[in-house]
Structure formats: structure tokens, C-alpha cells
Structure 1
Amino acid sequence: MTDGNEAIEAAAERAKLTRWRNIPQLDGLPIDGDTANLREGPNLHDACLPLLPLIGVWRGEGQVDYPTMEGPRTFAQQVTIAHDGRPFLYHEARSWLLDAEGNVLRMAARETGWWRPQPDGSFELLLAHNTGILEVFYGKPRTQTSWEMGTDAVVRTVSAKEVTAAKRLYGIIGDGDLGYVEERAMAGQSLQPHTSARLERVVG
């Protein structure tokens, strides 16, 4: 993890390339739209300040592995974390599998949800997955630039695979990249490493 001064310097350098970009918006919306760029749109709600470093659009690659699959496999991912001025953050992640040469094999996992900061400094993360899984995470910041969470509830549709628990750790690492690791208990397996990725900021 980076310290405060290093993070500020890295952010300033990175912003030379990303500060002019934002997520697209359609004209004519009579309310504030989402923004992944803190220089544009509504002011960030004070309740979201502990999550501020997460806001942006992030892209990169990672590894997925589990005893029930042939692995490890390489995937690419885009994560969007945005806000509309209210006391929560919007979350979307899209992934696709890559072959050994980095070519796209097929689309993979997709999730959407909400980061909900709480008055005591903790937060909730609600996620819905395209695979029929709904998860409620509770977590706390570990530092100013890292956040750890675990599931309190996992609900699945009748057609979804068995998932019973998950943990995640997000952090700003290196020169300002977003890194994360996830553990998952599913298909009769105990909680263990499942995915990890390192993503570069492309917006914000």
C-alpha cells in the first residue's frame, strides 16, 4: 500500500491522462447523473469521503483459480465506481477471459451494486451477479487506502451455483493502481482464494 504523500503525487501524475475523461451521459436527464470523475458533476457527499480513492473507472488483468475449475485462468476487467452526490457509490464490474496471448476468449463474470458508508466508519456493499447470486458484505477501512469486507448474507436463485461466503480486500497500490483479492466458499469448498487483479485508472 502507498503512503499519503506518494498517493497524492501518483494521483497528480496520473490525472494528466485521466482528468478529461468520465463515464458517458445522455442529455436531457432532469436530475444529476453519475460521475466517476470528482472534477465533474455533483459534489461528493461527505459520507463517501472514506471511499473517495475508489471513485473512477479502472481496467486491468487478474487471475481466477479454484479447485472446481481448470486453472489458473487470466481475465481482464473494468470496474466503475461512481456517485450522484448522494451518500452511496455505484459499483459495476465487467470481466472477460483471455488466452495465453491476451486475446479475448469470451465474456465472463458481471456484477453491479452499491457501496453504502455508515456513520461509524463501516460500510455495506450490496452486489448482484449475473450468475444469480446476491451478496451483502459488511466491511471497514483498514487504512485510508484499503478496505476489507466479508459477506453477512448470500442469496441465490434455484439455477445458481452454490455460494455460501466471500471476502474481499481492495487497496490502492503501487503508483495508484487498484488491487483486490477475493476469497470464496462455493460448490462444497471452504473459504479460499478465488480471484485477484490489478487495475489502472482510466477515468478520474
Structure 2
Amino acid sequence: MSAESQNPLEAPPWLNAPPLDPYPFEETFDLRHGPDLHPSLLGLLPYVGKWRGRGRGGYPTIEEDFDYGQEITISHDGRPFLYYESRSWLIDEQSQPIRPAGRESGWWRPVGDGQGDEIEVLLSTPTGIMELYFGRIDGLKIEMATDYVLRTPTAKEVNGAHRLFGIVEGALLYAHEMAAVGQPLTPHLSARLLRVGG
């Protein structure tokens, strides 16, 4: 049947095939279960897991600094990249939750000569910002800076960012600097997260 004569509201036969079983491949943040970690991810092995803790944030355009809780999950499915998901929430002086805050997800992918010393990271937020980072893996430290930031027309003006991650005494620490809304690269967020899974 030619494309001209096909009714656009009529489903082609292959769409009427029987339903499939659920997604058959496992993704895990617990290295004791699921697929083997891809060899190119060995330099990132200490980061795989579920992390939870607290952080502090601020910015010149924000009236007051703020405290937040955060949970980061870094998982894999056996292929040569990691899935990264972060959820945070504002907390009060007694560490009680106030409301949801920043959220982002994306992919970490080591590249280079097979030694895993370079990393490409793609992160996106529900507020219309996508950031492409290039960086380096140096032992238990990862340093990355944006190569490109893409924003929707309604997103806040973000022009660049720099992030530093490290595993220190078993905890995941990070610092995030941001260039946004007319400000140069300026400290924005920092946190210490403890491993709660994996």
C-alpha cells in the first residue's frame, strides 16, 4: 500500500501485534545484584549506589541561603554508561521537609583511551534546562564544566556551570558553581551524602 493511499487514522498491522512482557533487562545501583558493571565504568565504581544527605545552597540573586535534603541514585544496566537521578527538597532548622526542590536526571559516560579518565555528562531538569558537561576522572574525584547549556524559552537564564564530585571517607561530596541571571560562575550548592543502598 502506498503512503498516499494509507488512512492516517488506521493503525498498520505491526501496531496490532500482541502486547509485550515488561522490559526484560535489569538496571541496578547495587553491584551485588543484576548485570556486571561494564569494564569502562570501573573508574566510576565507587559512585554506583543510592546516596542521601543534606546540603546548603545560595546565590547572589536569592535572598537567603537554604538547607536541603537530597537523594542521588547512580545505576547501570551493564552498558558503558551510568544513569544519574537527583531529587532534593527544602528542609527547616529541624531537618523537616518543607517542599520539593531541584530535580535532574541524565547520563554519565566515560570516554577516551579506555582508561576512563574523561567523562561526558548530560543532565536535564524539569524546568527546561539541559547541560552538557565534559570532565575528568581523577581517582575518587570527578571535575566537570559545561560545554553547552540549552534552555527552553521559559527557563531561567543559566549560561554555565562547574561541578566537583568526590568520595571522601565513604561519603559522596560535591560542589556546584553556576553562572546564571547575569552573575559570573559563583558557588551555588554543596552537599555531603551517605550511601544508603548499593
**TM-score band (shorter)?**
0.7 to 0.9
Given the two structures, how large is their TM-score scaled by the length of structure 1? 0.84
Partner in structure 1 of residue 164 of structure 2: 169
Partner in structure 1 of residue 127 of structure 2: 131
Partner in structure 2 of residue 189 of structure 1: 183
- Write 1 or 2 for the structure with the bigger share of helix: 1
Q: 2:39 aligns with which of 41, 46, 54?
A: 46
CA distance in 2, matches of 1:97, 1:155: 26
Partner in structure 1 of residue 146 of structure 2: 151
Matches within 5 A, 1:7-46: 29-46=22-39
Q: CA deviation at 1:99?
A: 1.1
CA distance in 1, matches of 2:25, 2:118: 26
User: What percentage of aligned pairs have identical amino acids?
Assistant: 50
Q: CA deviation at 1:110?
A: 0.3
Task: Kindly provide the amino acid, as one letter, of the partner of residue 125 in structure 1.
Answer: V
Secondary structure of the 1:52 match is: helix
Task: Kindly provide the amino acid, as one letter, of the partner of residue 150 in structure 1.
Answer: A
Secondary structure of the 1:130 match is: coil
CA distance in 2, matches of 1:119, 1:69: 39
CA distance in 2, matches of 1:32, 1:162: 38
CA distance in 2, matches of 1:84, 1:31: 11
Q: CA deviation at 1:29?
A: 3.7
Partner in structure 1 of residue 98 of structure 2: 105
Are residue 70 (structure 1) and residue 42 (structure 2) matched?
A: no
Tell me, yes or no, if the aligned pair for 1:125 and 1:136 is still in contact at 8 Å. yes
Mark the structure with the bigger radius of gyration.
2
CA distance in 1, matches of 2:125, 2:72: 14
Count the aligned residue pairs: 175
Partner in structure 2 of residue 4 of structure 1: none
Given the two structures, how large is their TM-score scaled by the length of structure 2? 0.86
Task: Kindly provide the amino acid, as one letter, of the partner of residue 128 in structure 1.
Answer: S
Q: CA deviation at 1:30?
A: 4.7
Task: Kindly provide the amino acid, as one letter, of the partner of residue 195 in structure 1.
Answer: L
RMSD: 1.0
Q: In structure 2, list runs of 5 or more residues that go unmatched.
A: 1-20
CA distance in 1, matches of 2:32, 2:22: 19
